[in-house]
Each structure stands twice: as structure tokens, then as C-alpha cells.
Amino acid sequence: MTDAAALPGQPRGGVLSGPATARAVNVLAPNASAMTLDGTNTWIVSEPDSDLAVAIDPGPLDDVHLRSVVDTAEKAGKRVALTLLTHGHPDHAEGAARFAELTGTKVRALDSALRLGDEGLGAGDVITVGGLELRVVPTPGHTADSLCFHLPADRAVLTGDTILGRGTTVVAHPDGRLGDYLDSLRRLRSLTVDDGVNTVLPGHGPVLEDAQGAVEFYLAHRAHRLAQVETAVENGYRSPDAVVAHVYADVDRSLWPAAELSVRAQLDYLREHGLI
């Protein structure tokens, strides 16, 4: 198990629900669990003086929550004009079709199966709604279709499950791949260094106010965990479940199935690089 105190950039959380930046407001879905932390963060983003907004990750198919997102926007004098998805996991995307019915919006995503409308999302896309600018950042790894959204005006990035507000995320093997995930973290680090991003608006957990520290923490955690898995294999723990039982011995067993996904991704990575 990672000794978090020994790693750099341990994230420190801020806002959990409500306004987070000048342009971003979180409406927390009531689906808290060991995997979703406090619940899914549904983000409403807009220019302060605009009556149009973008919703990111409507969340689960929960009509009360979806209507709460609409109500939150309307109370601020705004209409949701577009819905975006960071990725297709149900806790982020299951409610998207119903939310589109409530708002009359299109749904844009990388995965064509999740879209409602003709437009998808891809690297280099810039989304503009009511003067708001969001830049699409491909960040595969957690899943193959994972995206982040750079909000330059707030020096923020909306990260879905690529970076969480508390703890670390799962590389959801076989769809998620560790090599892709490490590249995505480095891409996010470039945003903090080259573009001045200092705030993480995650898909779960509180807002992180040290984006660069959070990315460095994630990279250090992955390197540390990968070394643990490699050592476990060298010591005779060959199967994914055996590695999980050894490396994650002090982690709640309810999280072991998710840990096994990451371990399988790590084992693939080690084999691909000739390390085991």
C-alpha cells in the first residue's frame, strides 16, 4: 500500500458542492459509495454574464438529481445549452439521455455510442457556448474514451475520473491501459506548467487547489505501485488476485475487485516493457 505521506503533492481538497470557481458550480449526485466517493460531481460551467451554460457528466439516471442540475442553472439565470461527457461509465453518463430530454440539449462525447447529435469530441476541439471556452484534452487510461476539459479563464481543468478529489483512480483494464494513463498524466502536468492550470475540478471528491501537486502525486503513486507489483511478481506472486492480496493487503477487501483491474493493467505494462 502506498505511504501517501512519503509522496509529493498530496492533494488538499476544497469545495465539495456548490460554486468552485468563477465559472464552475458542482451539483453532487446522491450516489456515494466506496468507488464514487461522495458521489458524482455534475459540473455546470458558464461565463458569469451569460445566460447559457454547459453541463458536464449528468451522472446516474436519477430524476431528482437531473432536475436539481436544471434547477441550479435556472436559479442562476442560465439555460443548459450543451451536455458533455468525460467518459462513458454509468455513474457519469447513465443519466445523459434523460438529461438531454429535460434540457433539449445535444450530448457530445468521444464514444459515438454515447452521443446524442452529430458532433463528437476529439483532440484539439474548442467548445464555445455563451462566450465560455472549453478545450478538449484527450486523457485515455482510466478508460479508452476518457477526456478532460481545460477551462482557461479559470485556470482549471475538469478531470472526470482521470484525477479524483481524494485518493487515486482505477485503470479499468482491459479498456484502460497504464501506458496511456501515464501519458495522460504527463499531458495534464504540461497544462499546469505551460498553461498555468492550478485547479482540478474532479468527477468525484472535492476540488483540488494545487493541480501540479495533484498530478505529481498521481505520477509518484503510479510509479510506487508499479514497483510494488513488479517486486511481488519477482517474489512469486504471479496471478492478478495473488498480487492484489499481497500488495493491497491493508486495503478494504471491498475495493479489491477494482484494485485487480489496475493490477492487470500494471502486469500488462510490465510485460510490454520486458520487465517481467
- pLDDT tens track for 12-65: 566 788 999 999 999 999 999 999 999 999 999 999 999 999 999 999 999 999
- Give the residue among 106, 176, 195, 184 at the shortest CA–CA distance from 147: 184
In DSSP terms, 129 is beta-bridged to: 132
User: Are residues 187 and 228 in contact, defined by beta-carbon separation less than 8 angstroms?
Assistant: no
Q: What is the pTM of this model?
A: 0.94
Kindly state the cell numbers that stand for 276.
517481467
Helix (H) or strand (E) holding 9: none
* Residue 196 predicted with pLDDT over 90: yes
User: Are residues 160 and 149 in contact, defined by beta-carbon separation less than 8 angstroms?
Assistant: no
* Residue 251 predicted with pLDDT over 60: yes
Q: Which tens digit of pLDDT belongs to each residue from 160-188?
A: 999 999 989 999 999 999 999 999 999 99
- Give the residue among 26, 78, 51, 53 at the shortest CA–CA distance from 199: 26
Query: What confidence score (pLDDT) does residue 13 get?
Result: 64
Query: What confidence score (pLDDT) does residue 12 get?
Result: 58
Query: What confidence score (pLDDT) does residue 3 get?
Result: 39
Predicted confidence band of residue 10 (pLDDT cuts 50, 70, 90):
low
* Residue 4 predicted with pLDDT over 70: no
Query: What confidence score (pLDDT) does residue 125 get?
Result: 97
Q: What is the mean pLDDT of residues 77-91?
A: 98
Q: What is the mean pLDDT of residues 83-107?
A: 98
Q: Which residues contact 126 (CB under 8 A, 6 or more apart)?
A: 133, 134, 135, 136
User: Are residues 123 and 116 in contact, defined by beta-carbon separation less than 8 angstroms?
Assistant: no
Distance of CA 168 to the CA centre of its chain: 10
Query: What confidence score (pLDDT) does residue 6 get?
Result: 42
User: Are residues 50 and 80 in contact, defined by beta-carbon separation less than 8 angstroms?
Assistant: no
Query: What confidence score (pLDDT) does residue 1 get?
Result: 28
Query: What confidence score (pLDDT) does residue 66 get?
Result: 98
Q: Which tens digit of pLDDT belongs to each residue from 99-149?
A: 999 999 999 999 999 999 999 999 999 999 999 999 999 999 999 999 999
Query: What confidence score (pLDDT) does residue 16 get?
Result: 83
Kindly state the cell numbers that stand for 123.
483532440
On average, the pLDDT of the chain sits at 94
User: Are residues 129 and 45 in contact, defined by beta-carbon separation less than 8 angstroms?
Assistant: no
Label residue 5 left, alpha or beta by phi (over 0 means left) and psi (-120 to 50 means alpha): alpha
Only one residue has cell 458521489, namely 39
